Structure 1
Amino acid sequence: MSEDAAKCDIGFVGLGVMGKNLVLNLADNGYKIAAFDLDFEKVDAAIAQDVQENSQGSPRVIGCSSYTELLSKLKAPHLIVLSVPAGEVVDQVCHNLIGAGIQPDDIVIDTGNSLWTDTVEREKRYNENFIFFSSAVSGGEVGARFGPALMPSGSAYAWTRVKPIWQSIAAKVDAETGKPLERSKPGEIIPHGEACAEYIGPAGAGHYVKMVHNGIEYADMQIICEAYHVLREGLGMDCDQVADVFAKWNAGDLNSYLMEISVEVLRHKDPESGSALVDLILDKAGQKGTGLWTAVSSLEVGCPAPTISQAVYARSISSFKNLRIETAKHLTRPPADALSAEQKESLVEELHDALYCAKICAYAQGFQLMKLASVEHNWKLNFASIAKIWRAGCIIRASFLQSITKAFERDSELENLLLDSYFSSQLSKYQSNWRQAVAKATLMGIPVGAISASLSYYDSMCCEILPANLLQGQRDFFGAHTFERVDKPAGKKFHVEWSTTERVIKPLN
């Protein structure tokens, strides 16, 4: 065997939860990995797990104690994958690789949740040293191990080298039904099916798409939690009863990974007390920033995303636990009314439809945001392809995404999902129950901010005339900001001397 043939196919830096599982996934698919982490115990743990899972074969994961050793063990041109925290750590690793002798034709792939603008800057910064490529990864620990959704972007040349590797380790779906083709044990390979990995576009595009994915994830999680809140507090269900409702919903239109894991979380018992563990979990939600980035970007681009933004606010409100305890002593809520069995059954059905409609609106907001960003940055995003990537391997994977795929296949220029005939008919069909659920939850004093934000978004999109005409009048009154008129050519600006007796209207152009 030649010296080069004995070398590793891929270098890997960062063996935390995601990194270790991506390494083992790569190994399952026939790649030999040179692995490095500043914590040598993590390297040893990855090697030990590889040996345990592949006891009959030769070692697939080779440990390295330095960046120089990492490069020396790789076939040229080198391909190095990073699974490190977003931010300064990415640049530290890049500088260490430069110091170790990385070459201009080598590829470095950032798989972390980096801010997309940082990715754009890094491609420029390291252009003379190596090819900086990015590939956002979704699916958590299990996805990384058995098939994630991958959103690669950057150099088109780099993608030609990365593509066969990425499509081999990615989640797979049945091309006709869009259903995941899942593997759940080491060494199991699914050679057929569509891979949930496709080139997104230039530098930054993949991380932007992953950012919006996470924004939709925030919204999807929040609307599920709001339904849970109504079922627990409004209908008095225990965790197992709510789990039964969610399991039933998961068998229909609301089938999704998030609904599936919600059932498991609700059924899980605390080993010490025997009570539902979720009742013992402190109600303070954490966040790592991607939902916030999505909300901020929607404001910067000028795209309405109220459901996503409200989901971020809901996490923020939850963090003020002590304040909520104190204000609850001073503020009153409506008295609880006893509901009949028929009324309870009706509300469960209404909540189902509200959840479904709110979900449609959250995705509509996310895809419109990506469309506007695509135009602004000249990315030429393929939204049918993005929807396909998300059908398996990622946190928001759901059967629902097959319908989104078909919507963009019918019209690749679709401006908003609400304009698609299928989704508009679904919203029209279920909006009555949606309204009932929001109204009843509100009368009970149970917050349903994300579900109601979706409803307000829907109603606003249904209005040909919004009260922004009065708002423009107000702005012109106090700040001379001008306004346009419906009876004059578009773009022509007017200003009124509001405080004068004659109210003179002056055209400004």
Structure 2
Amino acid sequence: MGENLARNIASKGFPVVVYNRTAEKTDRLVSSVKQVLDIRPSYSFSELAAMLERPRQIIIMVEAGKPVDMVLEQLTPYLSRGDILFDCGNSHYRDTGRRQAMLEKHGVVLMGVGVSGGEEGALKGPSVMAGGLKQGFEASRHLWESIAAKADGEPCAGYMGGGGAGHFVKMVHNGIEYAILQLIAETYDIMKTGLGMTADGISVVFREWGRAELSSFLIEIAADVLAFKDPETGVPLVELVLDKAGQKGTGRWCVQTAAELGVPTPSIDAAVSARNISALKNLRIQLHDVYGERSKHRVSNDVVEKLRKAYWCSMVMSFVQGLTIIQSGSQAYGYGTSLDEVLRVWRNGCIIRAAVLKDLREALKAVGDAQYLLKSDQLVREVVSRVDGWRDVIIYAKQAGIPTPVLDASYNYFISMTRKALPANIIQALRDRFGSHTYERVDKPGIYHSSWRP
């Protein structure tokens, strides 16, 4: 991804100096673009710093965690006041804040920059979410806007706010991505296992969906993946892929952060748990042998259309949850993040780009608060027109023995958030019974404690 980002930057007319701890990789990149792009090699941090004009602008793309600290430790002695560093990896937002404070003592600005789009996006135009000192973004705005993807002629690059805001927004972006990927998996499973459809048939359905309200990058590439054949066997390659989904941590961070902020994110939570379950392949095989096959083919003529409605609703719930985390995090940490700006830069280049973002942006303008997105007239109409089909799909999946954690969690989120009364009253009563945690009453004000012993 770093190589492709360097190629993208150089292709826009910016001179680039690259460094990699493996000299062969540096040489290979420079050789591959010789006489085409202005990319020059360096072979040490001191040489890199010496070759750059001051104030320097340096992009760091390494694995999150200790590798970033190691790079900063080795690079900092060669920097000068006014230099700007851009951490474009998936660093934890708290690590970014800590590093910003450390570098500030040296007069160096660190920007935490979320870059979404994968290797292809890095080359052709990513979505860029920058966070840190505003002057750091302004000093580099031309660079990011030049290399970013465009939507309606606007660059999908923007300032997310102070501190670790850029990495915070990217973390939530990835959490939403987890939910949508799992949603696609569940949709695929219902059509394959429940309806007995082929990979080619499901690909056709996804392509059709991608031409209407479900248009998105992930639906588009899901159709491609399902249609791709293994060169050796001629069968759909997806059917030969081991059912163990990997993860790098951003989804887990998103769930942990949401819990700390008190923001309910059941769709994202369920997606992270589903990946954890997928990793337990050997245990799943053993339990399958004990309990037998639970999933079964079940004929139904209208499930695909209802599934289309369920997918849209569950995707919207995932976005609503994610946007609420960003809003709550911005308020808690003083980032000053604009949700409209977040939705603007997500319109193209990023992995979760989708047609529904336009609906969410309009809904946000109408209600002004992420918590109230489901109150917007537009989303109310859209959800109400689909909710029965959404429910029916979940019933079908249960009867067919197909696990649908994100579909279920999203639906439960919706029916919980739209209920005037929940059974939390007995939870609070039980807490007061065993721990004297007290309770409030619905018929009069005050804080109460009872013995709860008849």
State the TM-score, normalizing by the size of structure 1.
0.87
Give the Cα–Cα distance (whole angstroms) in 2 for the partners of residues 338 and 124 of structure 1.
Answer: 59
Tell whether 2:57 aligns with 1:79.
yes
The sequence identity of aligned pairs, in percent, is 39
Give the Cα–Cα distance (whole angstroms) in 1 for the partners of residues 354 and 215 of structure 2.
Answer: 6
Give the Cα–Cα distance (whole angstroms) in 1 for the partners of residues 239 and 14 of structure 2.
Answer: 44
Gaps in structure 1 of 5+ consecutive residues: 1-17, 175-192, 502-509
Q: 1:386 to 1:338 in 2, by over 3 A?
A: closer
Kept in 1, the 8 Å contact 2:127–2:345? The answer is: yes
Secondary structure class of the residue paired with 2:161: coil
Gaps in structure 2 of 5+ consecutive residues: none
Q: How big is each residue's C-alpha offset from its partner over 1:361-403, in whole Å with a ceiling of 9 and x where there is no partner?
A: 1111111111111111122221111011111001001111111
Q: 1:79 to 1:484 in 2, by over 3 A?
A: same
Q: How big is each residue's C-alpha offset from its partner over 1:434-461, in whole Å with a ceiling of 9 and x where there is no partner?
A: 0000000101100011001100000001
Q: 1:335 to 1:145 in 2, by over 3 A?
A: closer
Q: How big is each residue's C-alpha offset from its partner over 1:17-62, in whole Å with a ceiling of 9 and x where there is no partner?
A: x11011000011110001100011211122123227x2xxxx5000
Kept in 1, the 8 Å contact 2:324–2:370? The answer is: no
Q: Relative contact order: is structure 1 or structure 2 higher (C-alpha 8 Å, sep ≥ 6)?
A: 2
Tell whether 2:336 aligns with 1:358.
no
Q: How big is each residue's C-alpha offset from its partner over 1:194-241, in whole Å with a ceiling of 9 and x where there is no partner?
A: 111111101111111100000000000101110100100001111101
Q: Which amino acid aligns with 1:76?
A: R
Q: State which of 361, 371, 374 in structure 2 corresponds to 1:405.
A: 361
Q: State which of 237, 241, 244 in structure 2 corresponds to 1:277.
A: 237
Tell whether 2:352 aligns with 1:396.
yes
Q: 1:334 to 1:115 in 2, by over 3 A?
A: closer
Give the Cα–Cα distance (whole angstroms) in 2 for the partners of residues 328 and 204 of structure 1.
Answer: 44
Q: Which amino acid aligns with 1:252?
A: A
Give the Cα–Cα distance (whole angstroms) in 1 for the partners of residues 273 and 294 of structure 2.
Answer: 23
Give the Cα–Cα distance (whole angstroms) in 2 for the partners of residues 288 and 335 of structure 1.
Answer: 30
Matches within 5 A, 1:237-316: 237-316=197-276
Kept in 1, the 8 Å contact 2:195–2:297? The answer is: no
Residue matched to 1:471: 427
Q: State which of 22, 25, 28 in structure 1 corresponds to 2:11.
A: 28
Residue matched to 1:185: none
CA RMSD of the aligned region, Å? 1.3
Q: State which of 189, 203, 208 in structure 1 corresponds to 2:163.
A: 203
Q: Which amino acid aligns with 1:117?
A: R
Greater radius of gyration (CA) = 1
Secondary structure class of the residue paired with 2:34: helix
Secondary structure class of the residue paired with 1:494: coil
Q: Which amino acid aligns with 2:270?
A: Q
Secondary structure class of the residue paired with 1:206: helix
Q: State which of 433, 437, 454 in structure 1 corresponds to 2:389.
A: 433
Q: State which of 170, 179, 200 in structure 1 corresponds to 2:148.
A: 170
Residue matched to 1:8: none
Deviation at 1:125, TM superposition (A): 1.0
Q: 1:134 to 1:146 in 2, by over 3 A?
A: same
Q: State which of 93, 105, 109 in structure 2 corresponds to 1:131.
A: 109
Residue matched to 1:459: 415
Deviation at 1:334, TM superposition (A): 5.5
Kept in 2, the 8 Å contact 1:334–1:443? The answer is: no
Give the Cα–Cα distance (whole angstroms) in 2 for the partners of residues 304 and 335 of structure 1.
Answer: 30
Secondary structure class of the residue paired with 2:128: strand
Tell whether 2:350 aligns with 1:385.
no
Q: Which amino acid aligns with 2:24?
A: E
Deviation at 1:150, TM superposition (A): 0.5
Kept in 2, the 8 Å contact 1:484–1:494? The answer is: yes
Deviation at 1:338, TM superposition (A): 5.1
Question: Larger helix proportion, structure 1 or 2?
Answer: 2
Secondary structure class of the residue paired with 2:269: helix
Secondary structure class of the residue paired with 2:449: strand
Q: How big is each residue's C-alpha offset from its partner over 1:177-205, in whole Å with a ceiling of 9 and x where there is no partner?
A: xxxxxxxxxxxxxxxx1111111101111
Kept in 2, the 8 Å contact 1:152–1:206? The answer is: yes
